[in-house]
Amino acid sequence: MKLFVGLGNPGPKYAGNRHNIGFMAVDRIAADHDFTPWRKAFQGLVSEGRLGTEKVALLKPETFMNLSGQSVQAAVAFWKLPLSDVIVFHDELDLAPGKLRLKQGGGHAGHNGLRSISAHLGDGYGRVRLGIGRPGHKDAVAAYVLHDFAKTDQDWLENLLCGISEGAEALAMGDGQKFMNAVSLRTSPPRSSTTRERTDPPAPPAQPAEDTRSPMQRLLDRFR
């Protein structure tokens, strides 16, 4: 069994925030793959289903971001999961908007949700880092992540979420490269190899035939 954790803050006030892209990712997986309705459990919301042959639980902690570890720890303890079977979807300031990276273990890089999970469980879990970009000044970070995505972000955001959903089965089955490829096909589709049809150049205009008549003959022909 695998546990996919989406990080965010609960409630409609935060639903469209950049900080909630982790919630958005697991919501899309649940909707597209016919998972069970969300139910309250482990200080959060849980939905269950299958991706390929793998049973998967989705978790959205409702403890607010800074206390995410409490919810994740409760779910991990209940299902007796090793950290290698836990994957956390979270916003990433250090990646450009729409970019995605898959990582196993490591530090929290100042992300309060990861900080809390690592404090409760250690840092051996997997992460799906979802790029949201960084504001121009570090003092603007808090306001930036707690602000809704702009209208101009909607196209890349939709493509990213679709790619995550389409690659979710590969991720659950442990094929990280196939998962990344599925996302890339949505976010960076290959250019179509169109070739121009070869056409013959237009024929030059026909040249008039040389007039071989004598001057007298031409004069006579004018009065016929």
Pairing outcome for strands 86-92 and 126-131: parallel
Structural domains present in the chain: 2-187 (3.40.50.1470)
Instruction: Judge whether 48 and 60 are in contact, CB under 8 Å.
Output: no
Which residue of the set 19, 33, 90, 111 is catalytic? 19
**Per residue of the chain (224 residues), what is the pLDDT tens digit?**
999 999 999 999 999 999 999 999 999 999 999 999 999 999 999 999 999 999 999 999 999 999 999 999 999 999 999 999 999 999 999 999 999 999 999 999 899 999 999 999 999 999 999 999 999 888 999 999 999 999 999 999 999 999 999 999 999 999 999 999 999 999 988 776 554 445 555 555 555 556 666 666 666 666 55
Of 32, 27, 34, the closest CA to residue 4 belongs to: 27
At residue 136, the pLDDT reads: 85
Order of all β-strands in the sheet with 54-61: 39-41, 44-51, 54-61, 2-6, 86-92, 126-131, 100-104
Hunting for tokens 């892209």 — which residue is that?
A: 21
Instruction: Judge whether 146 and 107 are in contact, CB under 8 Å.
Output: no
Query: What distance in Å separates the CA atoms of residue 157 and residue 5, rounded to the nearest whole number?
Result: 19
pTM summary value: 0.84
CA–CA distances in Å: residue 183 to residues 2, 67, 141: 20, 29, 26
Query: What distance in Å separates the CA atoms of residue 119 and residue 220, rounded to the nearest whole number?
Result: 113
Of 216, 153, 123, 182, the closest CA to residue 17 belongs to: 153
Tell me, yes or no, if 33 is annotated catalytic.
no
3 state SS of 13 = helix
